[in-house]
Chains A and B, each alone.
Chain A
Amino acid sequence: MFDPSTKILVVDDFLSMRKAVVNNCKDLGMTNIVEAADGLEAWRLLDTANPPYGLVISDITMPNMTGLQLLTKARADARFAKLPIMLITAEGEQDYVLTAAKSGVSGYILKPFTPEIFVEKLKGVYKRHFKG
């Protein structure tokens, strides 16, 4: 599983969902968390981060820059080609899932979700990225 010291970026335009995700991460001992309210703000944080982020958890549907746009932009930048990025959405539409998969998403979680589902999805992302 991700090391508790992992620097995490949580992105969602709804404060309530950001808090829910942050608290799920804190359950796992991960407290090095920064929040962004849309993809554009998230990109600015990614671009200038030092030390870099080790995990991004992002909603898809957001103003200014969607989660899919953020994913595409990150994967096009060599610095973030291998950055674990998990997308969260209520949509579940096949087109979104296919686009995300083609864009190199690390994992996908559908709303609504329990803390237990969140942990299992995060474990899956870790396993895919670090254990082949």
Chain B
Amino acid sequence: MKDQIGKGSSETYIDPVVVKLIMDASCEVLGVQMKTDVKFTTIQPLQSMTGGSGTLYDIASVIGLVGNELIGSLAIGFPSATFLKVANRMMRETFTKIDKENADTAGEILNIISGVVRRNGRNHGYTFSSAIPNVIVGKEFELAPGVDHSGLIKLRADTDVGPFFLEFTMKKRPSEGD
């Protein structure tokens, strides 16, 4: 998996340190707050595209990543079966469908992941601004990365309650005068 980080088109910029920060934060957050062990099984650099990333979700959350070295966005997406089990574990309730009582769990998971990335990123010389996540709820929708991206990457994580995915785009922050 490590060999796949850093590859892409000539315009891509995939910072392996940031990728690892995000992966480690995801494992920590789901492992601790939701008692869900996470194993990343697939890492897929993507080419620039204007369509969807090819994975279908029932709920997702997206947050901006703006830092001293790079800018981009991070998304986490779940099929409903995985999401409901994760939400049930976090809140220790029993939800059978995604609704307003549990949907913001996706946002809070991403909120905590980004907070852990900010916290641990400082040890590697990265500073990120805090941001507010959005949550998207639907039925089998795809996420499409925005325009003007450089690096696109999709990670699949497997857990004992099903898979989820992280998708993020990043590009090197333009220096002053660019």
Q: Which residue numbers of A lie inside 8 Å of B, CB to CB?
A: 14-17, 19-20, 23, 61, 89-93, 110-114
Whether A16 and B28, one on each chain, are in contact in the complex, defined by CB atoms closer than 8 angstroms, is no
Majority DSSP secondary structure for residues of B touching A: helix
Give the residue of A14, A20, A111 whose beta carbon is less than 8 angstroms from that of B92.
A20
Given the complex of chains A and B, what is the CA–CA distance between A15 and B102 in angstroms?
7
Known: A16-B104, A112-B33. A91 touches B130 (CB 8 A): yes
Residue of B nearest to A23 (CB): B92
List of 6 A-B pairs having minimum Cβ-Cβ separation, nearest first: A90-B115, A112-B33, A112-B32, A16-B105, A14-B108, A19-B91
Interface centre among B29, B101, B111, B122 (most CB of A within 10 A): B111
Contacts of B28 in A (CB 8 A): 112
Contact B115 A15 (CB under 8 A): no
B residues in contact (CB < 8 Å) with A: 28-29, 31-33, 35, 87, 90-93, 100-102, 104-105, 107-108, 111-112, 114-116, 118-119, 122, 130
C-alpha spacing A93/B114, complex, angstroms: 13
CA distance A23 to B119 in the complex (A): 27
Considering the chains assembled together, what is the distance between the CA atoms of A46 and B127 in angstroms?
A: 35
Tell me the complex Cα distance, A19–B90, Å: 9
Query: Inside 8 A of A15's CB, which chain B residues have their CB?
Result: 100-102, 104
Contact check, A20 vs B33: say whether CB atoms are below 8 A apart: yes
> For residue B31, which residues in chain A have a CB less than 8 angstroms away from its CB?
112
- Among A14, A23, A113, point to the contact of B111 (Cβ < 8 A): A14
Q: A90: which B residues are within 8 A, CB to CB?
A: 111-112, 114-116, 118-119
A14 and B107: CB pair below 8 A? Answer: yes
Q: Tell me the minimal C-beta distance from A20 to chain B in angstroms.
A: 5
Q: Is the CB of A16 within 8 A of B102?
A: yes
Given A15-B100, A92-B115, A114-B32; 10 other pairs, CB 8 A cutoff = A14-B111, A17-B108, A19-B91, A23-B91, A89-B115, A90-B116, A91-B119, A93-B122, A112-B32, A112-B112
A14 to B111, CA, bound (A): 10
Question: With a CB–CB cut-off of 8 A, which chain A residues contact B115?
Answer: 89-92, 111
Q: Is the CB of B107 within 8 A of A112?
A: no
Q: Which residues of B contact A61 (CB under 8 A)?
A: 130
- Residue from B90, B91, B100, B118 within 8 A of A93 (CB atoms): B118
